[in-house]
Structure 1
Amino acid sequence: MLLILHAAVTWALVGLILTIQLVHYPLFARVGLSSWPTYEREHQTRITFLVGPLMLAELLSAAWLALRVPPALPSWSLGLGLALTLAIWMSTGLFQSPLHGRLSVAFDARLHRQLVVGNWIRTLAWLLRGGLCVWWLALSLK
């Protein structure tokens, strides 16, 4: 049951990161300079409310699965899944969040580009995690 919950949370985050990366972040440049600081602060508040609990649930369930490996799954793959989760958290804490903090003062095209380009790390990591979850579910159904 934990594996199903974990996969559901991961795929919710895959959908969210794809929406952010392909739709939301590119549109930041069209907000307008006068509206930007309020928009960015509101974005940070709203996205944290949505993504925070999901990321925490994913981290905790990834750690639990890595520590208590289900019999049908290769332990190395759960370690990889946890490592990808930690990479996402590190990218968020060390790069994405600080860039959002700097952008909350005023829009800066260079910082915006860094945000979009750097976010591909999280996007690709979540896509890999989503693929792992599908594979794990397939293995567990055999």
Structure 2
Amino acid sequence: MSTLAVVHLALVAAYAGFQWTVRVVVYPQMAGVVDGFAAYERAHQRRISRVVGPLFAGQGVTTVWLLVLAVRGSAPVVPVLAGAACLAVVLGATWLGAVPLHRVLDRGWDAAAHRRLLRVDTVRAVAATAGLGAAVWLVLA
């Protein structure tokens, strides 16, 4: 189980670092794109999915595996459930918040949609950080 917990920690840490980079660097820069914003946004979506897709998939696999082990009594339940809850928040905020807002933005710049995207992304960054705490807890348990 310790190897699985360490792999899970690495994936969660990578995602948290990615998410904070998006929140602090990538999304704020969008406001500075004057010409061709729709094309910029579509390119952003294509490129970012190459990074976030494997991180989501990896976390999904390790989280499900850890949940199975927790149900069987082979992994500590509380940090596994805490991490799963954090991932659920991230995925929910992504699919219910960020994805629809990106669809608005790929039609062109929309300041209100951008502000909402920043708020949604703050939720994802905080949840990812909490998930990192849960992953550390799991490794130390």
Which residue, 14, 18, 32 being the options, matches 1:16? 18
Q: Corresponding residue for 2:114?
A: 112
Q: How far off is 1:71 after superposition? A: 6.5
* Identical positions, percent: 31
Q: How does 1:1-142 map to 2 (within 5 A)?
A: 1-32=3-34, 34-69=35-70, 73-139=75-141
* Structure 1 Cα separation of the partners of residues 136 and 87 of structure 2: 16
Find the residue that maps to 2:31 and give its secondary structure: helix
* Structure 1 Cα separation of the partners of residues 73 and 125 of structure 2: 29
Q: What is the aligned residue count?
A: 138
Instruction: Tell me whether 99-108 or 62-71 shows the greater mean CA deviation.
Output: 62-71
Q: How far off is 1:101 after superposition? A: 0.7
Find the residue that maps to 1:105 and give its secondary structure: coil
Find the residue that maps to 1:68 and give its secondary structure: helix
Scaled by the length of structure 2, what TM-score is found? 0.92
- The ranges of structure 1 where at least 4 consecutive aligned residues each deviate by more than 2 angstroms after the TM superposition are 69-74
* Structure 2 Cα separation of the partners of residues 39 and 3 of structure 1: 38
Q: How far off is 1:92 after superposition? A: 0.6
Find the residue that maps to 1:61 and give its secondary structure: helix
* Structure 2 Cα separation of the partners of residues 87 and 132 of structure 1: 14
Flag structure 2 segments of 5+ consecutive residues without an equivalent: none
Scaled by the length of structure 1, what TM-score is found? 0.91
Q: How far off is 1:74 after superposition? A: 2.9
Q: How far off is 1:72 after superposition? A: 7.8
* Structure 1 Cα separation of the partners of residues 4 and 73 of structure 2: 13
* Structure 1 Cα separation of the partners of residues 79 and 6 of structure 2: 16
Flag structure 1 segments of 5+ consecutive residues without an equivalent: none
